[in-house]
Amino acid sequence: MAEQKATNITWHDAAVTPAERAKNLGQKGCTLWMTGLSASGKSTIAVALEQVLLQRGKHAYRLDGDNIRMGLNKNLGFSADDRAENIRRIGEVAKLFADAGIITITSFISPYRKDRDAVRALHDAAKIPFIEVHIDLPIEEAEKRDPKGLYKKARAAVAAGKGMGFTGIDDPYEAPSNAELVLPSHQLSIAESVQKCLDILESRGLLKA
């Protein structure tokens, strides 16, 4: 009987193709790479977008500080090298998720253009759609929000002569010049930002097989 059951099992030598995955999932895998200042709203938009996609029967997954910094990247600090390695690893994992057919949403400050462009190149080389989403909140607005008091702390550290390397205060945020989508989060509701993400996914044919 075990043998009879086993006769139902057939496969081919080649790996599963992206088209086969897309057909199975009713969507095409891709990476939505959210970049922006601390408190700009990246995670809030990502959480809402993921839920809305799931409500619509799509399959999305978020990579963010919560599931990366304490796990895969727990052996990285905040030196220049470690920051670059942090983004490199996240980019590689996002690429794997997208290759698996998932709509992958990352939300990391990712302040350096060079690091983001390397992730884009990685996706381009594998022909996996990469959508850079700049959550474009002016630094003044981010400082006004400051829900975790991080800007206040960074300003105090700088005033005391002890730099923290905090993005936007004493470390640069290099805004994307070629983002596929720019969301000025002080001028848009969360729902509007989510809708714009859905629109770009839709317009690129990523929400169907």
Contacting its own copies (CB under 8 A), which of 28, 42, 59, 123? 59
Please tell me whether residue 71 binds its own copies under the rule CB under 8 A. Answer: yes
What CA–CA distance (Å, rounded) separates 45 from 43? 5
Catalytic residue, chosen from 38, 40, 107, 193, is 107
Residues 55, 166: Cα–Cα separation, whole Å: 36
Instruction: Count how many Cα atoms sit within 13 Å of the Cα of residue 91 in the half-sphere of its side chain.
Output: 24
Segment contacting its own copies (CB under 8 A): 18-26, 133-141, 143-151, 177-185?
18-26
Task: Indicate if 107 belongs to the active site.
Answer: yes
Residue 189 as a binder of its own copies (CB under 8 A): the answer is yes
Candidates 22, 47, 158, 182: give the one binding its own copies (CB under 8 A). Answer: 47
Q: Is residue 124 part of the contact set for its own copies (CB under 8 A)?
A: no
Unique residue bearing structure tokens 């983002």: 179
Q: Is 140 in the site for its own copies (CB under 8 A)?
A: no
Whether the Cβ atoms of residue 72 and residue 11 lie closer than 8 Å to each other:
no
- Detail the DSSP E strand segments found in the chain: 30-35, 60-64, 103-107, 130-135, 181-183
Compute the distance between CA of residue 76 and CA of residue 6 in angstroms, rounded to an integer.
Answer: 46
Report the candidate in 199, 182, 180 with the shortest Cα–Cα distance to residue 138: 182
Of residues 18, 84, 99, 139, which one binds its own copies by CB under 8 A? Answer: 99
Asked whether the beta carbons of 130 and 120 are under 8 A apart, the reply is yes
- Our finding on whether 1 is near its own copies (CB under 8 A) is no
Closest CA to 31 of 80, 88, 91: 91
From 31-39, 100-108, 138-146, 177-185, span contacting its own copies (CB under 8 A):
100-108
Q: In the bound complex, what is the minimum distance in angstroms from residue 15's beta carbon to its own copies?
A: 6
* Cα 86 from Cα 67, distance rounded (Å): 13
79 counts as binding its own copies under rule CB under 8 A: no
**Which residues contribute to the site for its own copies (CB under 8 A)?**
2-3, 5-7, 9-13, 15-16, 20-21, 24-25, 47-48, 50-52, 54, 57, 59, 61-63, 67, 71-72, 75, 85, 89, 92-93, 95-97, 99-102, 122, 189, 191-192, 194-195
**Residues marked as catalytic:** 107
